[in-house]
Amino acid sequence: MALRENNSLHTIVEKTLVFLEKTNPEDLLVYGGDAVNFQLRFSRNNIIVSKRWANLGLSVYYVKDKKIAITFLSDISSLDAVYKALNELIAFGKALPPKQDHGGIAEGPFSYNPVPSICDTKMKDFSDIAIDKVEGGLNAAIEVGAKHSAGVLQWGYESGYVLSNHGVELKDITSKFEFLIRSFVSPTESGQGLSVGRMLNSLNTEQAGKTAGEIAKMAIGGKPAQAGVYNALFSPTVVADIVAQTVRNANPFSIEIGQSWLRDKIGEKLSNDNFTAFDDATIPDGLRSRKADDEGAPTQKTVIFENGVLKNLIHNTTTAKKVGTTTTSNAGLVNPQNSNVVISPGTYSFEELVQECKEPTIYVTSNWYTRTTNAAEGVFSTIPRDGMFLIENGEIKKPLRELRISDTFPNLMKNIIAIQNKNRQIKWWEVNVPTFAPAMLIEKVNFTTGTK
């Protein structure tokens, strides 16, 4: 019979820990997750896929003689299968070279403070109204001028249980949803809307659909634009991708492998006074908000930038010991990982940001294919996607097309002029770390065009 039918999640995790403890590892952590997920995909105003899947899985972090071995067991079927995989893990670990700078994992036991708004009990009954929510988003887009829309609504909930050989024990339950809609008037006239979070009272498919439809309609008649250096108004979606990239790169692992321009910059002023950002795993409704990181250390809020100054990097136990500090509770099973990135709101309404655009300014509503060409220097390019518009004298004048942003992260950071007075949680396949971002006005942004 299946494991799910015969053993509780807790029993599976406990038996895994006991089995591996017999080998006397230095560090051992077992996470068990029992998850149920759902998905509705839609295209051309019709739902085309309905999917439900359940998964009972284990993540095991095993360190013996400073040799680190990790395994993920997905949809496990029996305890015999688990034990077979664990024996393979032990054998694999013996063949690995030691990681001499391994600093261990968090030392428990810990007490954990509750994190508000990370589990909505109504999520288990959401399937009853999910189709209505999708149709609400589709209809809202049509009402403002879109011809058809495509996208996805996905949601789910998970029970988790963590044990370690350093006194960590944690039980948690979380829920989540993500709604993405892209609306079209024609193949080149489109807009995007998002609504993501953990609590259903923050799900607003109608607003997401309205936003996508309005942008698509505004994009009608867009013409190729000229390359040049412009001021730029970035939507929260764009800020979450390319401005928040610098916050996400405040990571010692990224710096060590040459994927961050922040090497040796702690204490330097890299942006204007109006820029403050955090990593915060305790923010309500955050998609990565939780009680503990992957080592079991209680989560917290960590200042990354304060008034433009780089204050901290994120750390796990090992990277913290290397530099003589303490973990920021940002452990992944291998390297430090962000929880939720939060950029503090400024003082401008969106309308006031538009009014501030006296010089020619390009309003970018979304983007994709962000790539670095020299990560250590922060050189990147990205392609504006969906509606893009020229603002002159404080008014949105006309739609534009066929531009690329080719610039550097240091240049963006130092040229932030004004920040919207509220932020929104953004996550989609271009922004895989949940990011609470406001709109931003940034000067001297380099836009290029394609070459033949």
Cis check: omega of the bond before 284, within 30 degrees of 0: no
Q: What is the pLDDT of residues 300-314, one digit of tens each?
A: 999 999 999 999 999
Among 429, 442, 283, smallest CA distance to 348 is for 442
CATH number for position 214? 3.30.2290.10
Q: Give the integer Cα–Cα distance in Å for 185 and 147.
A: 5
Q: What kind and span of H or E run contains 207?
A: helix 205-218
Same domain? For 186 and 326 the reply is no
- Summarize the confidence of residues 90-113 as an average pLDDT: 94
Residues 329 and 343 placed together within one structural domain of the fold: yes
Report the C-alpha gap between 1 and 93 in whole angstroms. 30
Say if residue 212 is in the same domain as residue 237. no
d(CA 252, CA 274): 25
On whether both 210 and 65 belong to a single domain, the answer is: yes
Contact 274, 418 (CB under 8 A): yes
Q: Judge if 323 and 428 occupy the same domain.
A: yes
Find the mean pLDDT for residues 59-77.
Answer: 92
Smallest Cα–Cα separation from 340: which of 297, 276, 277, 286?
286
How many Cβ atoms from other residues are within 10 Å of residue 267's Cβ?
8
With beta carbons less than 8 A apart as the criterion, state whether 146 and 186 touch: no
One domain, residues 21 and 35 = yes
Sign of the CA dihedral 259, 264, 267, 270? negative
CA distance 211 to 191: 7
> Across all residues in the chain, what is the average pLDDT?
95
Q: Cβ(203)–Cβ(170) under 8 Å?
A: no
Q: Same domain, yes or no, for 211 and 232?
A: no
Digit-coded pLDDT (tens) for 367-380: 999 999 999 999 99
Q: Taking Cα atoms as reference points, which of 396, 331, 53 lies closest to residue 166?
A: 331
What is the distance, to the nearest Å, from the Cα of residue 54 to the centroid of all Cα atoms in its chain? 23
pLDDT above 70 covers what percent of the chain?
98
Task: DSSP letter for 243, please.
Answer: I
- The distance from CA 97 to its chain's CA centroid, rounded to whole angstroms, is 32
The token pair that represents 116 in the structure block:
């508000």
Predicted confidence band at 3 (pLDDT cuts at 50, 70, 90)? very low
Is there a single domain that holds both residue 287 and residue 305? Answer: yes
Beta strands in 96-147 (DSSP E): none
DSSP 141: H
Cα–Cα nearest to 107, from 60, 164, 35, 191 = 164
**231 pLDDT band (50/70/90 cuts)?**
very high
Residues 240 and 210 grouped into a single domain: no
Q: Which of the 8 DSSP states describes residue 242?
A: I
Same domain, 59 and 141: yes
pLDDT of 169 higher than 60: yes
Q: Are 106 and 331 in contact (CB under 8 A)?
A: yes
pLDDT at 54: 92
Helix (H, G, I), strand (E, B) or coil at 301: strand
- Residue 124 per-residue DSSP state: G
Structural domain harbouring 202? 1-220
Q: How many structural domains are present in the chain?
A: 2
β-partners of residue 51 are: 39
> Using an 8 Å Cβ cutoff, are 26 and 104 in contact?
yes
Ramachandran assignment for 45, one of left (phi > 0), alpha (psi -120 to 50 degrees), beta (any other): left
Show the tokens assigned to 419.
């920040």
Whether residue 216 is found in the same domain as residue 235: no
**C-alpha to C-alpha distance for 271 and 266, rounded to whole angstroms:** 13
Query: How crowded is residue 258: how many other Cβ atoms within 10 Å of its Cβ?
Result: 12
Beta strand spans in 317-429 (E):
341-343, 361-374, 379-392, 395-401, 404-408, 416-419, 424-428
Q: Model confidence at 452, in pLDDT bands (50, 70, 90)?
A: very low
- pLDDT for 339: 97
pLDDT tens per residue, range 4-27: 444 578 889 999 999 999 999 999
Q: Which of 201, 220, 239 is the last residue of a domain?
A: 220
Angstrom distances, CA of residue 103 to CA of 138, 320, 323 = 51, 9, 11
Residues 41 and 53 in one domain: yes
Predicted pLDDT of residue 77: 73
Predicted local distance difference test score (pLDDT) of residue 76: 78
Residue 283 has pLDDT above 90, yes or no: yes
Q: How far is CA 309 from the centre of its chain?
A: 23
Place of tokens 């730029």: 232
Domain boundary residue, one of 187, 220, 253: 220
Residue 1 tokens, joined? 């019979």
Cα-flanking dihedrals φ and ψ of residue 297, to 5°?
-75, 135
HSE-up of 402 (CA within 13 Å, CB side)? 10
**According to the model, what pLDDT value does residue 79 have?**
86
pTM: 0.95
Q: State residue 376's pLDDT score.
A: 96
Task: Enter the tokens of residue 350.
Answer: 């969106």
pLDDT band at residue 203, thresholds of 50, 70 and 90?
very high
Per mean pLDDT, which range of 98-112, 132-146, 229-243 is the poorest?
98-112
Last residue of a domain, one of 195, 220, 245: 220
DSSP symbol at 311: -
| Structure tokens belonging to residue 325 | 């500090």
pLDDT score at 7: 52
pLDDT of 2:
40
